[in-house]
Structure 1
Amino acid sequence: MPVHPAHPIDTAWPVDPVGPVAPARPVGTAVRVARLTRVYPAGRTPVTALAGVDVGFDRGTFTAVMGPSGSGKSTLLQTAAGLDRPTSGRVVIGDTDLSGLSETRLTELRRTRIGFVFQAFNLIGALTVEENIVLPLRLAGVRPDRAWLRRVVARVGLTDRLHHRPAALSGGQQQRVAIARALATRPEVIFCDEPTGALDSHTAAQVLTLLRAVVDEHGLTVVMVTHDPVAASYADRVLVLADGRMVAELPQLGAARIAEHLATLDGRAVR
Structure 2
Amino acid sequence: MSLPAIRMNAVTKTYKQGARVVHALREVTAALPRGRFTAVMGPSGSGKSTFLHCAAGLDTPTSGTVHLGEVEISRMSETQLSELRRDRAGFVFQSFNLIPALTVMENITLPFRLAGTRPDPAWLDEVVRRVGLENRTRHRPSQLSGGQQQRVAIARALATRPEVVFADEPTGALDPVTAADVLGLLRRLVDTTGQTAVMVTHDPVAAAHADQVLFLADGVIVEELLSPSAGEIARRISALGRRTAAA
1:255 to 211, 221, 230: 230
After TM superposition, what 4+ stretches of structure 1 lie above 4 angstroms from structure 2? none
CA separation in 1, counterparts of 2:198 and 2:144? 26
Matches within 5 A, 1:9-48: 27-48=2-23
Match for 2:243: what amino acid? G
CA separation in 2, counterparts of 1:179 and 1:186? 12
TM-score, length basis structure 1: 0.88
Which residue in 1 is equivalent to 2:244?
Answer: 268
The question of whether the paired residues in 2 share the 8 Å contact of 1:229 and 1:256 is answered with: yes
CA separation in 1, counterparts of 2:140 and 2:184? 24
Matches within 5 A, 1:1-271: 27-265=2-240, 266-268=242-244
1:39-66 per-residue CA deviation (whole Å, 9 max, x = no partner) reads 1111111111111110011110000100
TM-score, length basis structure 2: 0.96
Number of aligned residues: 245
The question of whether the paired residues in 1 share the 8 Å contact of 2:57 and 2:74 is answered with: no
CA separation in 2, counterparts of 1:251 and 1:269? 26
Q: Which runs of 5+ in 1 are unaligned?
A: 1-25
Matched position secondary structure for 1:268? helix
The question of whether the paired residues in 2 share the 8 Å contact of 1:112 and 1:137 is answered with: no
In the TM superposition, residue 99 of structure 1 has moved relative to its aligned partner by 2.5
**Percent pairwise identity:** 62
CA separation in 1, counterparts of 2:127 and 2:215? 31
Matched position secondary structure for 2:2? coil
Q: Which runs of 5+ in 2 are unaligned?
A: none
